[in-house]
Structure 1
Amino acid sequence: MHKLFKALLMSMVAFSAIFLATGCSAETGKPAQETANSNKFPAFQTVDVAGNPVTQDIFKGKKITVVNIWGTFCPPCIEEMPELGKWAREMPQDAQIIGLVCDAIGPSDKETTAAAVKILKDANASFVNILPDDNLLKYLESIDAVPTTIFVDSDGNIIGEKVIGADVAKYKQQVKGYLK
């Protein structure tokens, strides 16, 4: 019985490691590995989780913006949020991070917004997190897994390699390489 329990425990640990490395399916919460391919981030006019207006002008004035696409249903997304919050406070002046709450069905989605606000507060992650407008909802249709993290330059161009799954060290490596 002890060997069976140990084998079951090891299987659960292995599954958890795979789950955390690959992320959640944006629709089902199951592991997935593909995302959108586009070299221009869509124009948008929306609000953040606090109701403040946000447009693609958020990218201007920064050499690089880390866009973390995440969902309130996704354990790996939630687990990386404290580290993202800490990193956002330490970023150089020419870089920033923003979140995109993928499971909100628009700026008027009060239930998902409330869940996102609680997650961000609990994680001490005070960086801007936006709710998708129609253009971003259309863009999110091509995102298969969260977290998916992309990198955007000051002109709104998607640059570098997207990162699928929770891997803050990899995000930092990309930003550091771009800012050199």
Structure 2
Amino acid sequence: MKTKKTIIPVFLVAAMLAASITACGNKDASSGTKTESGSKVEAGSKVTAQKFPAFKGKDFDGNDVDESLFSKNEATLVNFWFNGCSACVNEMPALEKFSKKLKEQGAELVGINAGTASDEKGLAEAKDILSKQGVTYRNLILPNDHEYVRTIFTFPTTVIVDKQGNIIGDPIVGAIEDEKKQAEILKVIEEIKAGNGVTAKVTSDDKNAPVDPAASLYEEENKVFAENADVWNKLFSKIKKDEAEKNADKPYVEFLTEQFEAAKADFTEEESKVIKEGLTKIAEIEKKIEELRKK
């Protein structure tokens, strides 16, 4: 499954650190993009819910929308996508059919275009995409700096939100066009309607998926960020998603260095030391990954 090309896997780490988002997947050796293996949703134990942050936005018809839309449904499936995401667009016909099944359960599918419909040209392009894919379910545009939208860096990503505006379980990373997965989502919604606490767990369905030989090196990178999460989150919070998108082909150590240099006045001497030492470690790890890829 193809997903949006991201400049760095660290943005997924940033999302996990900042908003407890979990993503499963392997690094694609040929393109350097994130590829998601199949995932499933399971009803499970009770969890402490995270609120979907309040928002004020527009739907594609220009109508004002806010978080009160969640109260009108037993559950709302929020699907994040953007104009250039082939995986997002390809799943839309299946989502259109699924939206009808959701309505039968008192639930609703809502698409949120992440950034690419924020101007007239982008909106026209997004509307054209929806029209060609036969989409009739509601689609929204939220501000690019919205607290939750900023944490989504892999597309498509879908979250389940209950009537009180609580996010149920983990985000579901990757397409949800598979009928089995949709059945599992419906099961979660039934649990929500019954008033039971549930968790949406993203796990690999493909037991035969190839093991990435660089997996241990990516884990080393993750540890660099996790060991000083507060400092790295401070840097990540200053990075605008459109900047990452414009620099998608740039080595991410170089990109992060540029972002840090632009904001270093906001960091203490000790924080700056942590960032610089971390970037040095990441550069060394990336060199090892590149050498491994050449074999």
What is the TM-score when the length of structure 2 is the normalising length? 0.48
Of the candidates 119, 143, 146, which is equivalent to residue 155 of structure 2? 146
Residue 90 (structure 2) pairs with residue 110 (structure 1): no
The aligned residue for residue 83 of structure 1 is 94
- The partner residue of 1:97 within 105, 109, 125 is 109
Q: Alpha carbons of 1:165 and 1:140: their partners in 2 closer, same or farther (altered >3 Å)? A: same
Alpha-carbon deviation of 1:173? 1.4
Identify the match of residue 119 of structure 1 among 129, 143, 150: 129
For the structure 1 residues 140 and 122, does the alpha-carbon distance in structure 2 shift closer, same or farther, using more than 3 Å as the test?
Answer: same
Higher strand content, 1 or 2: 1
Identity of aligned residues (%): 31
Which sections of structure 1, spanning at least 5 residues, go unmatched?
1-16
User: Larger C-alpha radius of gyration, 1 or 2?
Assistant: 2
Secondary structure (helix, strand or coil) at the match of 2:72 reads coil
8 Å Cα contact 1:44/1:135 also seen in 2: no
Q: 2:76 touches 2:107 (CA, 8 Å); kept in 1?
A: yes
1:93-136 deviation digits (Å, cap 9, x = unpaired): 41100000012364xx1111111111111111111100012663
| RMSD (Å), alpha carbons | 2.5
Query: CA separation in 2, counterparts of 1:76 and 1:149?
Result: 13
Instruction: Read off the aligned partner of 1:125 and give its amino acid letter.
Output: V
Q: Which runs of 4+ in 1 moved over 6 A?
A: none
Q: Alignment partner for residue 156 of structure 1, among 165, 179, 182? A: 165
Could you tell me how far apart the structure 2 residues matched to 1:105 and 1:81 are?
17
Aligned residues between the structures: 155
Q: Is the 8 A contact 1:33 1:164 kept in 2?
A: no
Q: Read off the aligned partner of 2:139 and give its amino acid letter.
A: N
Ranges in structure 2 where 5+ consecutive residues have no aligned partner: 21-49, 192-295
Letter in 1 for 2:174: G
Higher relative contact order (CA 8 A, sep 6+): 1
Q: Aligned partners of 1:99 and 1:53: how far apart in 2?
A: 15
Q: How many Å apart are 1:172 and its aligned residue?
A: 4.2
